[in-house]
Amino acid sequence: MPPVLISCPTTGNLVPTGVNIVNRNEMGDDSRLLIACPECGRDHEWTPDDAVLAPE
């Protein structure tokens, strides 16, 4: 299962969300999730539309 990343809106770097999914369809389109960002130390709300699957 690839780890799910999002792009930190503060630094622009990809950060791991701690979520692993088999495919994107497992996440509801209206899911709202919060991560404590390791890049900037803030909390970011993200949705599946923001998610990037890590390359293998």
Q: Which residues bind Zn ion (CB under 5 A)?
A: 8, 10, 37, 39-40
Nearer to Zn ion, 26 or 45 (CB): 45
> Shortest gap between Cβ of 16 and Zn ion (angstroms)?
12
Nearer to Zn ion, 44 or 48 (CB): 44
Query: 14-20 and 52-53 as β-strands: parallel, antiparallel, unpaired?
Result: unpaired
> Shortest gap between Cβ of 21 and Zn ion (angstroms)?
21
Phi-psi region of 41 (alpha: psi -120 to 50; beta: other; left: phi over 0): left
Residue 13 · residue 39 · CB < 8 Å: yes
